[in-house]
Amino acid sequence: MDDFGNLFKRHTYITKASTSLIYGILVSIAVNFFWTPGHIYSSGMTGFAQLLNTISSRSLPVTIPTGIGLFILNVPLFLLAWRSIGKEFTAFTFITVLLSSMMIQMLNPVPLTHDPIICAIFGGAVNGFGTGLALRNGISTGGLDILGIVIRKKTGKSIGTINIAFNSIIVIAAGFLYGWPYAFYSVLGLLVNARVIDMTYTRQHQMQVMIITDRPNTVIDSVQNHMRRGITIVNDVEGAYRHESKTILFTVISAFEMSELEEALEESDPNAFASVSDTVKILGRFYEPKP
């Protein structure tokens, strides 16, 4: 059993390291192929690193490259994550940021187009896919992710306000440095980036599930073996067609867990009827895996 656990952990580590490399390649493509040629700024620390690069190239004797600036800006956040979140989380965040910084520096810019709208849309899409992929595999891309986790852990509040304020500074800077149309182009890129992240990283998207079955205990055991979710039981309901006794089970899952739910139902009761609908808001405790 210990050998299986070690093998599983090793497989998880390899998956996370591979995802870190993929993210590094994608963010470097976004920066070097789209954002830099189009004068578009990203969100978070990547955008701040771009801002430092632009300002230093214009006002300082030494230019701070975007890749190097990205790593330097994350150093104090690594220390914060090490103390407040965990060593394994910090290690993989360090690897992800290091690979991203290296790939941004190593990948030679290839300006496919200078059209700011195209650069904003495709840069945001490429980076959003990479970020969503990283989040799906339990990897932080550094920057404001770390602050968000620490603040939520200590206060229970989200970092939404800080995110908005930080990104507003970047957008305003884009307006001053390149002209106000580029500030709006950067906003477009941020919106595309956020939308693609939501499409790729579905763990935060909750859905309500209603299951009608005549094998409730088997279904409950199967579902809870596949995922950590509470289930509410409504006994002694009757079907209107055959007037058979049924049981209704209610639970809430993330969209990320949809395939696990389907597998659990197929194993326990292939004839069960399940209805899945989006939830607008959840009040109370909803389990989310720790990073």
Q: Which of 165, 131, 129, 133 is nearest to 145 (CA)?
A: 131
What pTM was computed for the model? 0.74
The CATH number of the structural domain formed by 206-278 is: 3.30.70.120
Confidence of residue 250 (pLDDT cuts 50, 70, 90): very high
pLDDT exceeds cutoff 90 at 159: no
What is the per-residue pLDDT for 157?
60
What was the pLDDT predicted at 1? Answer: 47
For helices 144-155 and 66-84, the axis angle rounded to 10 degrees is 20
Domain parsing of the chain, residue ranges: 2-200, 206-278
Residue 2 predicted with pLDDT over 60: no
pLDDT category of residue 187 using cuts at 50, 70 and 90: very high
Range 146-175 average pLDDT: 75
For the cut 90, the answer to whether the pLDDT of residue 101 exceeds it is: yes
In the predicted model, what is the mean pLDDT of residues 22-46? 92
Structure confidence by residue, pLDDT tens digits, 266-285: 889 988 899 888 765 676 66
Half-sphere exposure of 159 (CA within 13 A, CB side): 17
Q: Write out the H or E segment, with its range, that includes residue 111.
A: none
> Distance of CA 84 to CAs 120, 155, 160, 291, Å?
35, 13, 20, 12
pLDDT at residue number 284: 66
* CB contact at 8 A, 150 and 84: yes
Condensed to tens digits (0 to 9), the pLDDT of residues 40-81 reads: 999 889 999 999 999 999 888 999 999 999 999 999 989 988
Whether 4 has a pLDDT exceeding 60, the answer reads: no
279, 206 contact by CB (below 8 A): yes
d(CA 201, CA 152): 19
The mean pLDDT value for 188-205 works out to: 80
* Distance, CA of 237 to CA of 232 (rounded, Å): 14
Supply the pLDDT for residue 281. 67
pLDDT band at 259 (very low <50, low <70, confident <90, very high): confident
Confidence of residue 137 (pLDDT cuts 50, 70, 90): confident
Which has more pLDDT, 40 or 152? 40
